Structures are given as structure tokens and as C-alpha cells.
Amino acid sequence: MPRSHYTGLAGQSYDQPAQAGVLLVNLGTPEAPTAAALRPYLAEFLGDPRVIEYPRWLWWLILHGVILRIRPARSAHAYARVWTPEGSPLRVGSEKLAAALQAKLKHHPPGPIRVALAMRYGSPSVRTSIEQMQREGVKRLLVLPLYPQYSGTSTGSVLDAVADTMKQLRWPPELRIINDYHDDEGHLEALALSIERWWAEHGRGEKLLLSFHGIPQRYVDAGDPYFHQCQTTARELGARLGLHDTELVVSFQSRVGREPWLQPYTDATVQRLAAEGVKRLDVACPGFSVDCLETLEEIAMQNRDFFTAAGGETLRYIPALNDSSEQVASLTALILRHAQGWPEFS
């Protein structure tokens, strides 16, 4: 018999009640803070044409001939600085968020609703998670990439992975996808409440810097809405916090390579603010739903050192929403709104 190109569920009981599923998708993480574990993770991540839009043959030579020979060891050192006894902060935080959302939706009538987590790079993969949910009876699937602002480099890549999986399933589930939630009222309120609570406990700095992950400027020039959505999030959040324009600063971090990325750059911004006399700087990262290497190491460690070396006294990182009650409530409301009309949610 010829081998089938499609994955099916041979022998499944068609009498079992249909379920709805919510698939949370985050970026991903290596399995360990070692060069050996970083190499396949970086190869998958940086090999994604959504992330690096260079001619494939040229980028393959650069990636495998240069980057994967040097970067794994450097990245392993950075990961080791934030790795916890439980494992990767992004993996652990994402799992806690998924569990909290499952607990919140478990008793939502009429149900049943299944919440699962996937990583775009690494494990559990999007394909593995969708196939597992299908085996558990999920017939309607809502995909929620945990990126508040849309970019082709992040959410767009998740859509590719979902589409690739669907093409290989013999009986794909009914599908809906949340593209972004950068201006969602509940999400913005959750961000504002989180920052206000942190200020109430720790005091308030002279300025608040909102640092978003950067992308190459040419991607935005080609039509990526990411920069506009980041600016919208920052403007709406600043209004909710009652901040004057002089108290709120926006920047972009994690630049790689030599081509221009979105500006101003975070590292240059913290140094400039320190040189201008700012002594106490608070930093939040509204583009990250869960704390990870880019927030815990790049912001709270690297950029803290840049700030103090340039004359500042204290740079304080305000944690991401993680599995806070505010984030769980806002994402629950977002999910319920996007799943309207499905029997399990109605």
C-alpha cells in the first residue's frame, strides 16, 4: 500500500463529545543553557525565512558557516545567567500561564475547553501540540500567539507553522486565529494595573522606558505593522498611567547584524538618558507576555550595566504580566470574545 501523506486518527471513536481547544504559542527555548542545546534551537529559529529575509542560499552559508560556530556559546552564557532550577524562564512561565488559563476556562459553561501550549521553535512543537489535541477530541481550535503586537517575524511565523500542520492532517479542526491584541482594552488595563501595583510597592522612577523587541526597518518599510502597533500600545498605556510625553520613552532592543533596525535602540537610549541626568529609570517590556532571556538578561542585567556605566544610579525592570491574575483575566476575555458562536463557548 502507498504511504499516506496525511496524519489521521485511525480507530478513534466518533461518538466521543467534541471539544474546543485553545493553543497558546510562544517563541520557544533551548532544552538547556549549553552550546550543544543552543545549536539546534538557533538553527531552527534563525533558519526560519520569516525571521531572516535573505536569499536562502546566502543565508544558509552565513548561518552554518559563521553564526552557528560562534553564537551558541555566547547565547549559552546568557541563558545560564537566568536559568532556574525549574528550567527556562520562558518555558516555565508559559506553562504556568497555560495552566492558569485552563483552570479559568475549565468550568466555563458549557465546555469542555482544552488549553495547550506550543513553542514555535523547540518543543513542544506546534504540530505535536495540535495532533495531541486532536487525539483528545478537539474539533474546534483557537490559536493565540503570545505576541501582543503582530509581526511577520513572530505571529506570521506561527501562522506558517499552523498552516503547515493543517495541510498534513486528514481531518483538520475548525480553525480561528488571534492575529494580535496590541490595543485590546483588557490587555492594556492589565499592563497598567501591573505597573501601578509595582510602583506602589517599589516607588516610581523618573522616567518609564517601554522597550519592545526590534525588527529590521526594511520589514516595516515593506508593510509589517509591528512598529505602528508598538507605538499604539505605548501611547494607550501611557494615557492609562497618566504619564506626560516627557515621562515616557519608547525604544527597541535585541538588534542583530549591521543593517538598520527599528530605532531608537534600547542600549543607546538608556545610555543617553543616564548622560542627560536621569538617575532612576524604570523599564517595562509590553511586547513580551512572559519573562524570558530578552527581559531578564538583556534588560535587567545588560542594560542595567549600560545605564550605571553611563552615570545612572538604578535601572529597575518591571516584570512581564506572566501568569498574573490580570493577564489571566484579560486573555480569558479575549479568548471568549474570539470564540463566540462555538458551542463550547456560547
- Tell me the binding residues: 213, 294
Strand 248-253 and strand 207-213: pairing? parallel
CA distance 269 to 306: 10
What are the angstrom distances between the C-alpha of 2 and each of 5, 6, 23, 166, 170?
A: 9, 12, 33, 21, 15
For residue 136, what is its C-alpha cell?
A: 483528545
CA distance 91 to 87: 7
Q: At what angle do helices 325-338 and 185-202 cross, to 10 degrees?
A: 180
**Helices within 142-243 (DSSP H only):** 155-168, 185-202, 217-221, 226-241
pTM greater than 0.85: yes
Question: In this structure, what DSSP letter does residue 297 have?
Answer: I
List where CATH 3.40.50.1400 sits in the chain.
19-182+327-338, 185-317
Calculate the dihedral angle through the C-alpha atoms of 319, 97, 117, 75, rounding to the nearest 10 degrees: 20
CA distance 197 to 341: 36
CB 153 within 8 A of CB 118: no
Question: In this structure, what DSSP letter does residue 65 have?
Answer: I
For residue 154, what is its C-alpha cell?
A: 513572530
Please name the CATH architecture into which domain 185-317 falls: 3-Layer(aba) Sandwich (3.40)
- Tell me the binding residues for Fe(2+): 213, 294
What is the SS3 assignment for 186? helix
CA distance 323 to 311: 35
pLDDT tens-digit profile, the chain (346 residues): 566 778 776 555 566 778 899 999 999 999 999 999 999 999 999 999 999 999 999 999 999 999 999 999 999 999 999 999 999 999 999 999 999 999 999 878 788 899 999 999 999 999 999 999 998 899 999 999 999 999 999 999 999 999 999 999 999 999 999 999 999 999 999 999 999 999 999 999 999 999 999 999 999 999 999 999 999 999 999 999 999 999 999 999 999 989 999 999 999 999 999 999 999 999 999 999 999 999 999 999 999 999 999 999 999 999 999 999 999 999 999 999 999 999 988 7
pLDDT at 5: 77
Cβ atoms within 10 A of the Cβ of 83, count?
Answer: 20
User: What CATH class does 19-182+327-338 carry?
Assistant: alpha beta
Determine the number of helices (DSSP H) and then strands (DSSP E) in the chain.
13, 8
Q: Name every residue whose Cβ is closer than 8 Å to that of residue 286 and which is 6 or more positions away in sequence.
A: 148, 191, 210, 212, 233, 234, 237
